[in-house]
Amino acid sequence: MSNRYLSSQRGPRHIDLQDQFMFYGAMRRKGGLHLWCRTFGIKSPKAEGISGDDVQGLFKQGDVEAIAKYNAGDLVATKQLFEYWNTYLRF
């Protein structure tokens, strides 16, 4: 994949936190957002009792507000993970 590695990117950067936390595949276990949040002490969006598996059912029920809150939780957690990576793990 072209420009996968941060050192080869020019201009605006795309940082794949999954790649960064797994050291570009050097780790065997692939973790999702929930795992990385728990690992670094960040509140996971799943802590509110909703997971991505629930979204389809919520949509069918018309509960778009619950879906929006879950998605907002993903964004907040991703931002906090980026800040942690940028402060402590970026090399």
Q: What is the pLDDT of residues 18-68, one digit of tens each?
A: 888 877 777 777 778 898 999 999 999 888 889 889 999 999 999 999 999
In a domain, 62, yes or no: yes
Q: Distance (Å, rounded) from C-alpha 68 to C-alpha 88?
A: 30
Please state the pTM of the whole predicted model: 0.78
In a domain, 39, yes or no: yes
- From the number of C-beta atoms within 10 Å of its C-beta (0-12, 13-18, 19+), residue 36 rates as buried
**Strand, coil or helix: what is 80?**
helix
In a domain, 80, yes or no: yes
Q: Distance (Å, rounded) from C-alpha 76 to C-alpha 47?
A: 13
In a domain, 69, yes or no: yes
Structural domain for 27, as ranges: 6-89
What is the count of structural domains for the chain?
Answer: 1
Contact yes or no for 1/25 (Cβ under 8 A) = no
